[in-house]
């Protein structure tokens, strides 16, 4: 009987783990993180930047190591809420970069902060990230620590819409997030479930860029008026506290593993990660010593141990061919931007709604037009007919265009985003022209 009870308990735990297994949080396919960069042009100074970086020590600790301390928590619709309390003080909270103190975020009872088993974290001495996904929203808190029954200390809370494609400046130019480059964190991690899934495909990869970090002294600055200033490049929107020479790589740099790296010498799971570095690259996101950051296997179905991935796989599994800084090249993602720390938040992405589409016939010649009317949306909107971008215009809540073939769906989107209305096909015709004069009637005649 005791044996059966143990077997039943093990089965319950297995089913619970399987029920929790979900795909990692990801943005739509059009997001910059999903860009295949195999053929992307290199920065003209790539070789010089890499040489300078290597001379400074390359990756932290001189090796490509993996940190498995990040947890990605999945929250149901009924998850309890905690209110953000500015930490360590209201004046030191990252405003306006981050959501205002007092904002609530879902925090399940079984949630865990980075490197912890629960919601207690020494945020005076650590990053203490708390990453929570609920539906299409991703909540990422920096320097988090639970306070009482309903509070959460944090120096920043960044909320991301996973169903949106963000502009080049992410949540705003010179704006940080829970990551110093202004990046989302969870979508740039990799976990054991997605690596396992990619292993089931021939030549599989993860389909997204991977987050990496470096010591501040190995990231670029520049001299402005005799003062050394931080710099960043796209896809970053912010730089933390770099202190390295101008010739090294800057915050936000996207690096690509060389195409002829001997991937086949590595275990199958490691090959998936290496192919991802060749096809989607790694992006410089924050300061620190352990180069790569992966999701822990606390909430995943598969474990890193079961896949044969250890923290030191990339410098110890194949002693003859470790992954080194000089195996990477720097992509050309645009000019360096000098950091001012003056955050200008982008407008909140708003879905236009209530779209009505009608076909009108106007004038004596009965010229046909399609008339659109909607509510909400950003200051400028994109008008789409099927897959065609018809116009980019100021948002007046109305637009008129030449008709498209019958049944063509129209959408209105906040400019440059995938924040769109529901599709609407034009309704039945209306006639807008001068009304006919009423027919004269004789006195006493029925006028019905």
Q: Of 390, 423, 425, 388, nearest to 406 (Cα)?
A: 425
Return the CATH number of 353-432, one of 2.60.200, 2.60.120, 2.40.360, 2.60.40: 2.60.40
The encoded tokens of residue 237 equal 């929107």
- pLDDT tens, residue order, the chain (448 aa): 444 554 444 444 444 444 445 678 999 999 999 999 999 999 999 999 999 999 999 999 999 999 999 999 999 999 999 999 999 999 999 999 999 999 999 999 999 999 999 999 999 999 999 999 999 999 999 999 999 999 999 999 999 999 888 999 999 999 999 999 999 999 999 999 999 999 999 999 999 999 999 999 999 999 999 999 999 999 999 999 999 999 999 999 999 999 999 999 999 999 999 999 999 999 999 999 999 999 999 999 999 999 999 999 999 999 999 999 999 999 999 999 999 999 999 988 778 888 999 888 776 666 789 999 998 888 889 999 998 999 999 999 999 999 899 889 999 998 877 788 888 988 755 444 434 444 444 444 443 3
Please give the distance of CA 81 from its chain centroid, rounded to a whole number.
Answer: 23
> Rounded distance, CA 274 to CA 328, Å?
11
Residue 375 sits at φ, ψ, to 5 deg, of -130, 160
Long-range contacts of 138-141 (CB under 8 A, 24+ apart): 138/25, 138/162, 138/184, 138/186, 138/187, 139/105, 139/106, 140/177, 140/178, 140/179, 140/184, 140/185, 140/186, 141/84, 141/105, 141/178
Query: Taking the domains of the chain in order of start, what are their residue ranges?
Result: 24-345, 353-432
- Model's pTM, two decimal places? 0.80
């Amino acid at each position: 009987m005791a044996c059966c009870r143990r077997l039943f308990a093990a089965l319950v735990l297995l089913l619970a783990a399987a029920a929790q297994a979900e795909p990692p949080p990801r943005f739509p396919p059009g997001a910059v993180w999903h860009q295949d960069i195999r053929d992307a042009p290199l920065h003209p100074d790539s070789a010089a930047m890499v040489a300078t970086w290597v001379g400074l020590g390359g990756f932290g600790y001189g090796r490509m190591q993996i940190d498995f301390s990040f947890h990605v928590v999945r929250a149901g619709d009924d998850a309890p809420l905690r209110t953000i309390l500015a930490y360590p003080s209201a004046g030191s909270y990252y405003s306006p970069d981050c959501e205002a103190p007092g904002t609530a975020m879902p925090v399940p009872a079984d949630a865990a902060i980075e490197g912890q088993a629960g919601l207690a974290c020494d945020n005076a001495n650590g990053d203490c990230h708390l990453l929570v996904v609920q539906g299409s929203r991703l909540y990422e808190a920096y320097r988090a620590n639970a306070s009482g029954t309903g509070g959460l200390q944090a120096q920043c809370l960044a909320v991301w819409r996973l169903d949106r494609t963000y502009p080049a400046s992410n949540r705003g130019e010179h704006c940080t997030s829970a990551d110093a480059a202004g990046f989302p964190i969870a979508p740039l991690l990799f976990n054991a479930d997605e690596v396992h899934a990619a292993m089931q495909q021939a030549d599989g990869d993860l389909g997204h860029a991977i987050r990496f970090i470096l010591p501040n002294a190995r990231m670029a600055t520049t001299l402005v008026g005799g003062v050394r200033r931080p710099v960043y490049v796209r896809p970053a929107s912010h730089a933390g506290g770099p202190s390295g020479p101008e010739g090294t790589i800057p915050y936000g740099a996207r690096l690509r593993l060389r195409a002829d790296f001997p991937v086949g010498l590595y275990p199958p799971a490691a090959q998936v990660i290496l192919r991802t570095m060749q096809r989607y690259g790694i992006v410089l996101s924050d300061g620190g010593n352990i180069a790569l950051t992966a999701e822990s296997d606390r909430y995943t179905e598969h474990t890193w141990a079961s896949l044969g991935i250890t923290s030191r796989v990339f410098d110890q599994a194949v002693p003859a061919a470790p992954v080194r800084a000089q195996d990477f090249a720097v992509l050309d993602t645009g000019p360096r931007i000098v950091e001012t720390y003056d955050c200008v938040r982008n407008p909140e992405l708003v879905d236009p709604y209530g779209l009505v589409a009608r076909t009108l016939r106007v004038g004596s010649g009965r010229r046909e037009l399609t008339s659109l009317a909607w509510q909400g949306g950003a200051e400028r909107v994109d008008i789409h007919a099927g897959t065609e971008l018809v116009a980019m215009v100021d948002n007046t809540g109305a637009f008129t265009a030449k008709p498209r073939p019958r049944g063509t769906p129209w959408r209105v989107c906040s400019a440059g985003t995938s924040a769109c209305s529901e599709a609407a096909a034009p309704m039945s015709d209306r006639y807008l022209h001068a009304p006919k004069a009423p027919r004269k009637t004789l006195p006493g005649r029925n006028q019905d």
